[in-house]
Amino acid sequence: MKTYPIPNTPLRATCLAYGCMQIGGTWDNAPLTSIDRARARSVIERALAHGINFFDHADIYCRGKSETVFAEALREMKIARDTLILQTKCGIRFADDPDAGIPERFDFSYEHIIEAVEGSLRRLQTDYVDILLLHRPDALIEPEEVARVFDELHRAGKVKFFGVSNHTWAQIALLKKFVTQPLVVNQVELSLLRADLIDDGMFFNTSPRPYTGIGGTLDYCRANDILIQAWAPVANGKLFNPAHDASPNIKRVAGLIAHMAQMKNTTHEAVALAWLLKHPAPIQPILGTTNPERITASCRADEIELTREEWYALLKAARGQALP
């Protein structure tokens, strides 16, 4: 599988990554079951079999069970830690944590980031994570405090590199003013059905496109050597399995994807992901399926490349209107 150099690091990541959000089973405090463990191992094995070396986590995924079951599977399979790139995230806190009545919130405080990283290291059974992302923007962020905790985690060897998720260019620029480590990743929702970051540049200064607050985020990341990662890259399957009552745009682009897949003798997943891989940013899609066959279907994206004309045809079908 093709790889990307992650800027400002020695890491080379496969062009597709596997996202471990759902491998922990339920999103409650119920313990892991033998079914959960078998399912997690099967998808991890399939991802590894296709050469994927990048695995994306977060402390909250299945309330920590996704990190736990991942580590158990690696230990059983005797996979060497240094052959993988492990990324995790922190900053989202559930309601009633730690006490009843406390609301859900975002938390980039020194104390919470330290606690979250220690918890992830324990569950992942590792001494370090390659990349730590701040999960969703905290309106109460104190950049100096984040810089202090980044420095401490880096000096201790517990986090090698840092990044963000779901951040605008301005939020990244504010953080960059204070942190000493480079921010190497921005993970965002991005697909043919959620192409705001790509639309933004082409439809600037047109009507009735409202200002969304993300203006220039994709170009900012490219200019500042920040790898874009795409979560929900196939829109949770809507791009090839639209609901009966789906919008005309979804049905139209799903139909075009099916046609291209047939013409290229490949899968629907491969075409949808190849659309992201075509972008020169580059963009690294994060696969989230727990179906091993869909992992195989997705990895065929590495075998094809869309033409410029095919890329724009898919964009137009998804948007349902002409370019400006």
3-state secondary structure of 117: helix
Whole-angstrom Cα Rg for the chain: 20
Give the span between the Cα atoms of 162 and 128, in whole angstroms: 12
What single letter denotes the amino acid at residue 35?
I
**Residues 233, 286: Cα–Cα separation, whole Å:** 7
Largest CA distance in the chain: 56
CB 87 within 8 A of CB 54: yes
Report d(CA 161, CA 221) in Å as an integer. 16
What is the pairing mode between strands 159-165 and 105-106? unpaired
Q: Which two tokens stand for residue 250?
A: 């979804």
Backbone angles phi, psi at 131, to 5 degrees: -140, 135
Which letter, b or e, does each residue of 246-276 get, where b requires 16 or more Cβ atoms within 10 Å of its Cβ? Answer: eeebbbbbbebbeebbeebebbbbbbbbbbb
Q: Which residues of 100-134 are buried (b: 16+ CB within 10 A; e: fewer)?
A: eeeeeebbbbeebbbebbeebbebbebebbbbbbb
Cα gap 108→144, rounded to integer Å: 11
Q: Which residues are catalytic?
A: 61
